[in-house]
Amino acid sequence: MKSLSAPPSSPPRRAATAFFHATTSTTPLMPSVPPAPRRRVACPKQVGRYRIERELGRGGMGVVYVGIDPELERRVAVKMVPPDVDTDPRARRRLEREAKLLASLKHPNIATIHSLEEAGARVRFFTLELIEGEDLGTLIARQALGFAQGVGVLSEVAAGLAFAHQSGVIHCDLKPANVVVDGRGHSTLLDFGIARVVDAVHTGTSIGLSSITGTPGYMSPEQLAGRAFDAKTDIWAFGCLAYEVLTGARAFGGIGVAEVLEATLRVQPDWGRLPAQLPSAVRELLEGCLQKDPGQRPDNLGAAAALFQRLGAGGAAAHGAAPLCHVCGPSTAARRPAESPKPWLDRARSFVANAIPRRA
């Protein structure tokens, strides 16, 4: 990686080294004190009317089980507050807010919620569609998807995020583990547990270190710093995810959280790891998404969805393989003046326009 010019004793390094502690799951970034061990609770046999088959996954904000709905005779995902923190009213409010956000987002690349329910006096949970597949992080761990297979995934992730942003929702925790790819190659965004609505984003004036949440390596510099942020924090995370899909490596890695945070604040990704056959428009898109200054990032992901959609429809075939996923719907990209201050966008549009020969 190429380091940005800054003295070794710069404030970002001291902050990263002295103040931050986090795990790979989504948890608040706390002062450097080991977290108290959490009580592991056995998988319940029943939640409400749902028979529980097994635990699907857990993180700092919730636990998800595979359940059977006996009335509709279908398998669902059951998400609830972890039993060891179910007495915390804030955790219940987060769960309810996530359910309501999901209910406002109806899109083929965002998980569909079925219900928000209660079992007894204390257990609050919601059910959503069960995606039979693997998370993107597991797929990448086996092998980088590369350009030919990755364009389909990136097209659908960009389309889902663009729709969420148009609906006034910021995901705030986009990462490979929160994207599931099913057996047909269809990609779905999951886990809106720390999502924000546009008019309730962090302002930096009422937030302390203990309430900065996210996953190191995918959080934007402004998100890490507790400053005001908007949908461009998701655009940064999309750049991190796209880089990882194409290379199999994290854009901002390191040994320990402090090095990851320092890389996020001060270091450029190793662009030399990108596939040699990668179109220049895609590289410039990634470079635009990963600008440290959010004002230099794209305003939305509409152009990115259009670029990867067009490549998945035909351009990727020229690079050695069929696309992994089916293509998404039309782009929502807004028109810009001809003299764009962001050259990557002009290049992307030009590439989309010329990637496939037009019919006579």
Burial (CB count <10 Å: 0-12, 13-18, 19+), residue 177:
buried
Q: How many CA atoms lie within 13 A of 52 on its CB side?
A: 18
- Write b or e for each residue in 86-102: b if 16 or more Cβ atoms lie within 10 A of its Cβ, otherwise e: beeeebbebbebbbebb
CB atoms within 10 A of CB 41: 13
Contacts of 272 (CB under 8 A, 6+ apart): none
Which residue in 115, 137, 152, 74 sits closest to 308, CA to CA? Answer: 152
DSSP 161-227: HHHHHHTTEE-S---GGGEEEETTS-EEE---TT-EEGGG---SSS--GGG-EE-TTTS-HHHHTT-
For residue 240, what is the enclosing H or E element?
helix 232-247
For residue 51, what is the enclosing H or E element?
strand 50-58
173 is catalytic: yes
Burial (CB count <10 Å: 0-12, 13-18, 19+), residue 279:
buried
φ and ψ at 123, to 5 degrees?
-85, 115
- What are the start-end ranges of the H helices in 20-122? 89-103
Tell me the β-bridge partners of 27. 214
Task: Identify the active-site residue in 86, 135, 173, 191.
Answer: 173
- What are the start-end ranges of the H helices in 292-342? 302-313
Contact 48, 119 (CB under 8 A): yes
Measured distance CA(306)–CA(327) in Å, rounded: 10
- Catalytic residue positions? 173
